[in-house]
């Protein structure tokens, strides 16, 4: 009995011990797992915190880099603005001096000169014009970079425009003993509307290059319409082909990059290496694209197509064309012109252009002087430099317009700056017209004729008069002989 009791007690004890052992083991395992999970969570949180801190640092670094970049960008923009300002100022200064050189060349060309003197004068004139082109090149490039390139479109005579270009290039070709041929289609429109200056710049650059990179043979300049639409006008192709050194295929697309030159050994000729870059940019601005095909040792062909809307001939065209005769005076009463310019040389150039034609000239040295002299002399027309000290041209024009009796006096602003803002400001100030410097004598004459309604006297007329007088004397003599 007792042994049975013991054995059942023992089994109970063993069972309960086993139960407790299992329970404790279970608790320990679960606890272990929980501790493990807790520690892992903690570690992950710590890792997250660390990542957060690292991310914060990276973000801060990024902000710092961005701030530095912004500072650098602003500095670069400032430097670029300063460079563009410098270029504008420099080209402005150069144009001032060229105005005097070109002005005097034009004045002397009206004198009776020997053949040699006339040739020399022509060379000075052409070279000064070329210098002017280079100056505009530099200005253009900075304007293209600053995206402030002007789009100035005018009506012009296409054939006259082409022949002026040919004249410039022919001389260079002759100097290198190269042929220079032109093939201008008879179907070209006579008068067109486009950006004449830009087109001239592109063509001159391509033609200059053709002559520059050709040693034997020659250059052909072709211009012909490829399509014609009575509403839109003609699409004209300009081709410049040479028998020069040619451009290897792999270089053909790169030559439009700034400062790109094919090889030093092949072409060590002088140049800014900007010509094609500017030309291609200008062509794009005109809705075109310069194309090229070339074979080394055989030659190169550059071409571009430009839309040139045709303009009907008007009275003004006829008027302008007659000014190719030498003007020596005008019919009718004396006309007084007040020249307001702070630069002595500029006043002298204008005076020398206008005095021989019989105009009465009054000079003013700044804006205030313009007002005083205008009140004193009551001129018919005032030519006024827009960038004068003391009282600048714009202010002077505004004051003139408010002076009693001066509401209708003709005022023409002049400036060496080719910027659109200057012209717009000139109109806003109350000016009637604008002349850009360096002054071209013909432009000045057209402007005076238009505003003063002048009827010119030409050298031709005088010669005709003299011939008529001579003829009548001869016939009288003849009659007497009879």
Starting at the edge strand that comes first in sequence, how are the strands of the sheet with 291-295 ordered? 179-184, 218-229, 233-242, 299-308, 291-295
- Please tell me whether residue 311 adopts helix, strand or coil conformation: coil
- By the rule CB under 6 A, 118 interacts with ligand ADP: no
Minimum gap (Å) between residue 115 Cβ and ligand ADP: 33
Exposed/middle/buried for 474, CB within 10 Å: 0-12, 13-18, 19+? exposed
- By the rule CB under 6 A, 300 interacts with ligand ADP: yes
d(CA 174, CA 180): 8
From the list 121-129, 275-283, 391-399, 417-425, the region that binds ligand ADP by CB under 6 A is: 275-283
Residue 456: CB atoms within 10 A of its CB come to: 19
Residue 200: CB atoms within 10 A of its CB come to: 19
From the list 134-142, 186-194, 242-250, 400-408, the region that binds ligand ADP by CB under 6 A is: 242-250
Residue number closest to ligand ADP, CB atom: 271
- Count of all residues that appear for the chain in the document: 482
Which of 193, 273, 377, 450 touches ligand ADP (CB under 6 A)? 273
Q: Which CB atom, from 271 or from 356, has the smaller least distance to ligand ADP?
A: 271
- By the rule CB under 6 A, 438 interacts with ligand ADP: no
- By the rule CB under 6 A, 172 interacts with ligand ADP: no
Whether residue 425 contacts residue 394, with contact meaning beta carbons closer than 8 Å, is answered with: yes
d(CA 462, CA 326): 10
Minimum gap (Å) between residue 280 Cβ and ligand ADP: 9
- By the rule CB under 6 A, 176 interacts with ligand ADP: no
- By the rule CB under 6 A, 245 interacts with ligand ADP: yes
- By the rule CB under 6 A, 136 interacts with ligand ADP: no
Residue 438: asked if its preceding bond is cis (omega within 30°), the reply is: yes
**E-state strands within 390-461:** 410-415, 433-436, 456-458
User: Number of residues in contact with ligand ADP, rule: CB under 6 A?
Assistant: 21
Place of tokens 């074979």: 295
- By the rule CB under 6 A, 262 interacts with ligand ADP: yes
From the list 70-78, 267-275, 414-422, 455-463, the region that binds ligand ADP by CB under 6 A is: 267-275
d(CA 123, CA 101): 12
- By the rule CB under 6 A, 255 interacts with ligand ADP: yes
Q: Which CB atom, from 244 or from 393, has the smaller least distance to ligand ADP?
A: 244
From the list 136-144, 162-170, 206-214, 385-393, the region that binds ligand ADP by CB under 6 A is: 206-214
Whether residue 226 contacts residue 298, with contact meaning beta carbons closer than 8 Å, is answered with: no
- By the rule CB under 6 A, 209 interacts with ligand ADP: yes
What's the number of CA atoms in the CB half-sphere (13 Å) around residue 18?
Answer: 6
- By the rule CB under 6 A, 242 interacts with ligand ADP: yes
DSSP calls for 15-51: HHHHHHHHHHHHHHHHHHHHHHHHHHHHHHHHHHHHH
Which of 275, 379, 413, 438 touches ligand ADP (CB under 6 A)? 275
Interface residue list for ligand ADP (CB under 6 A): 205, 209-210, 213, 242, 244-245, 247, 255, 260-262, 267, 271-277, 300
């Amino acid at each position: 009995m007792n042994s049975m009791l013991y054995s059942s007690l023992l089994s109970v004890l063993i069972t309960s011990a086993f139960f407790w052992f299992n329970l404790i083991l279970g608790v320990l395992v679960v606890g272990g797992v929980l501790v493990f999970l807790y520690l892992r969570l903690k570690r992950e949180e710590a890792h997250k915190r660390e990542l957060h801190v690292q991310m914060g640092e990276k973000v801060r670094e990024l902000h710092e880099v961005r701030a530095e970049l912004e500072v650098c960008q602003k500095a670069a923009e400032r430097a670029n603005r300063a460079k563009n300002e410098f270029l504008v100022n420099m080209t402005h200064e150069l144009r001032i001096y060229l105005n005097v050189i070109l002005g005097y060349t034009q004045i002397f060309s009206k004198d009776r000169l020997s053949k040699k003197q006339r040739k020399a004068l022509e060379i000075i004139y052409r070279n000064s014009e070329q210098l002017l082109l280079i100056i505009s090149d530099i200005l253009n490039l900075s304007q293209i970079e600053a995206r402030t390139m002007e789009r100035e479109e005018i009506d012009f005579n296409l054939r006259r425009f082409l022949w002026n270009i040919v004249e410039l290039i022919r001389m260079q070709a002759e100097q290198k003993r190269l042929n220079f041929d032109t093939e201008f289609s008879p179907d070209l429109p006579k008068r067109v509307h486009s950006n004449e200056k830009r087109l001239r710049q592109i063509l001159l650059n391509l033609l200059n290059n053709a002559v520059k990179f050709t040693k034997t043979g020659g250059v052909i300049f072709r211009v012909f319409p490829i399509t014609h639409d009575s509403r839109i006008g003609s699409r004209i192709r300009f081709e410049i082909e040479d028998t020069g050194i040619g451009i290897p295929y792999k270089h053909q697309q790169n030559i439009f990059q700034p400062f790109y030159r094919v090889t030093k050994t092949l072409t060590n000729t002088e140049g800014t290496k900007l010509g094609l870059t500017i030309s291609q940019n200008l062509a794009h601005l005109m809705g075109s694209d310069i194309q090229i095909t070339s074979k080394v040792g055989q030659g190169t062909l550059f071409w571009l197509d430009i839309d040139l809307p045709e303009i009907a001939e008007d009275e003004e065209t006829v008027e302008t064309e007659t000014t190719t005769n030498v003007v020596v005076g005008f019919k009718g009463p004396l006309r007084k012109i007040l020249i307001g310019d702070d630069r002595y040389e500029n006043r002298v150039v204008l005076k020398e252009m206008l005095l021989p034609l019989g105009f009465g000239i009054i000079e003013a040295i700044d804006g205030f002087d313009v007002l005083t002299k205008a009140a004193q002399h009551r001129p018919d027309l005032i030519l006024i430099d827009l960038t004068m000290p003391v009282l600048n041209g714009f202010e002077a024009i505004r004051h003139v317009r408010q002076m009693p009796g001066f509401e209708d006096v003709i005022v023409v602003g002049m400036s060496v700056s080719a910027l659109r803002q200057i012209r717009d400001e000139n109109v806003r100030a109350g000016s009637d017209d604008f002349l850009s410097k360096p002054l071209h004598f013909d432009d000045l004459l057209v402007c005076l004729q238009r505003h003063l309604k002048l009827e010119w006297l030409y050298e031709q007329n005088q010669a005709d008069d003299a011939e008529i007088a001579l003829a009548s004397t001869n016939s009288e003599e003849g009659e007497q002989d009879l």
